[in-house]
Chains A and B, each alone.
Chain A
Amino acid sequence: MSDLPEIPTEDEIQALVDGRLDPGRRAEIEAWLSGNPDEAARVAELRDISSAIERVYGPLSERPIPARFQKVGAPAMARSPVWRVAAMVALIAVGAAGGWFANEAVGPGEDPNASLARGAVKAHQMYAREVRHAVEVPASDEAHLVAWLSKRLNAPLRAPNLDGEGYRLVGGRLLPAEDAGPAAQFMYEAESGERLTLYVEQNLAGGETAFRFTEYDDVSAFWWKDGPLAYVLIGRGERDRLLTLARATYQELNP
């Protein structure tokens, strides 16, 4: 009976649970499991273990980094002038991302753009991990969402379509900006579950900027100002990937 799928090995069951089987074998094993309910129940429980680990331990990588770890890099900094420049850039980035090391690194003259990035990063960290209440208004009600947020921010908003980049709109919410009245957050999600947020507040200080990059913990952000609004796009992952997404967002906003 060559059309009966081969019984999976224990290693294959583990790889199935970890999503590390090639699609062909995966389909065979899924078919085999449909005829073996006990084993299917075991696999479901093994997957639940992974979900529990992700849910409970996942957020632990989002804790602020204590300043003590900055000192580890200090000797290298003293040796190399290149490092000194890099360190200054990093310091500015840290300041812009909200002055988490404010007591040590950032003086009273806070970068006026700091509150923009800080508000955006806080909002991202607050809601991007939410499973059931990630958004206030779902994407299924997009027209209402955009109209409502535009009214509150007193400017014409758009929810950029990032489908082409592999991110679908989940929805959005209204937030209080630190010192720019109301702010809006649009949330996007990739097939993998990875989330991206676009934070928008009024550009009260005025002016336009190029894309600016900032990093905090494992979150990266690009922010820019364009006419009446200021934008911050936040996600995890590599700078270059996020820059591609920021460019796509900008194009969607300026068709």
Chain B
Amino acid sequence: MKRSSFELVETHIPSLRRYALVLLRHDEPRADDLVQDCLERAMSRWHLWRRPGNLRGWLFTILHNIYVNDVARAVARPDVVEIQDYFPAMAVPPNQADRIQLREVTAAIQELPDPQRQTLLLVTMEGFSYDETADITGVPIGTVMSRLSRAREKVRAASWGETRESGRRIT
């Protein structure tokens, strides 16, 4: 059965909303506005999507461009929402064995400069390839790799740096 354009687009709404929500630091109304703008733009430019193509990548590119051009400039950075209230996984007492400092890691991610944060989230949270991430963010792949490396080093330093230096890292 031929699927309509919106049906095709619709399957990507959950991950677009997730990306927008993290990008906008958990400001849910703004995140959903961003997704809605993205969907409307995609539907109005449907003829521009080249089939068979990477629809998900195309949608993320549209969302990225709206964010960079309109949203990021307009949004005075809101206070970071108390993350524990927001994500069920955070409420679970940390398991010593998995030694993941969820709070530190997510807080550090939210402190990253936008380009590094976007790159890290597109690759790890959304599973885009390095090539796709380069297309979405409109930069060469070398830039993707260096942003990824710098993003991870900053998060690592913020999350593990002190405990490692003082020898208290849980293993």
Within 8 A of A (CB), among B66-101: 83, 87-90, 95, 98-101
**What is the minimal beta-carbon distance from A46 to any residue of chain B, in angstroms?**
5
- List, in ascending order, chain B residues with CB within 8 A of A75's CB: 43
Assess the B155–A49 pair: CB atoms within 8 A: yes
Query: Is A86 in contact with B156, judged by CB distance below 8 angstroms?
Result: no
Q: For B83, what are the chain A residues with a Cβ–Cβ distance below 8 Å? A: 56
Indicate the size class of the contact surface on chain A. Answer: 35 or more
Contact of A76 among B43, B99, B145 (CB under 8 A): B43
Q: Is A55 an interface residue (CB 8 A)?
A: yes
Asked if A20 meets B130 with Cβ closer than 8 Å, knowing A46-B156, A51-B100, the reply is yes
Complex contact A11–B105 (CB within 8 A): no
For window 220-248 of A, CB contacts with B under 8 Å fall at: none
Kindly name the residue among B4, B5, B102 whose own CB sees the greatest number of chain A CB atoms within 10 A.
B4
Q: Does B63 contact A (CB under 8 A)?
A: no
Q: How far is the CB of A139 from chain B (nearest CB, A)?
A: 21
Inter-chain contacts of B120 with A (CB < 8 A): 53
Cβ A61 vs Cβ B14 within 8 A: yes
**Most chain B CB inside 10 Å of its own CB: which residue of A55, A58, A132, A217:** A55
A39 in the interface (beta carbon within 8 A): no
Tell me the bound Cα distance from A225 to B99 in angstroms: 45
Which of A28-36, A62-70, A193-201 is the interface stretch? A62-70
Within 8 A of B (CB), among A38-63: 42, 45-46, 48-63
- B65 on the A face (CB < 8 A): no
Name which residue of chain B comes closest to A71, CB basis. Answer: B36
What A residues does B43 contact at CB under 8 A?
Answer: 72-73, 75-76
In Å, the complex CA distance between A76 and B109 comes to: 39
Do residues A56 and B35 form an inter-chain contact, with CB atoms below 8 A? no
- Known contacts A53-B121, A57-B125, A73-B10; is A11 also within 8 Å of B17 by CB? no
- By the criterion CB–CB under 8 Å, are B105 and A14 in contact? no
Q: Are A10 and B149 in contact (CB under 8 A)?
A: yes
A68-B32 contact in complex given A45-B156, A54-B125, A76-B5, C-beta closer than 8 Å = yes
User: B14 contacts which of A55, A83, A217 (Cβ < 8 Å)?
Assistant: A217
Measured CA separation A218–B56 after assembly (Å) = 14
Complex Cα gap A229–B128 (Å):
41
Decide if A69 touches B87 in the complex (CB within 8 Å). no
A17 close to B (CB within 8 Å): yes
Determine which residue in B2, B13, B40 has the highest number of CB atoms from chain A within 10 A of its CB, and name it: B13
**Residues of B with Cβ closer than 8 Å to A?**
1-7, 9-11, 13-15, 17-18, 21-22, 32, 35-36, 39-40, 43, 83, 87-90, 95, 98-102, 105-106, 109, 120-121, 123-125, 129-130, 145, 148-149, 152, 155-156, 159-160
What are 8 A-B residue pairs whose CB atoms fall within 8 Å in the complex?
A: A10-B145, A56-B83, A56-B90, A57-B121, A57-B125, A69-B13, A73-B4, A73-B9
Given pairs A56-B89, A86-B7, 5 additional interface contacts (CB within 8 A): A11-B145, A57-B18, A72-B40, A73-B4, A82-B2
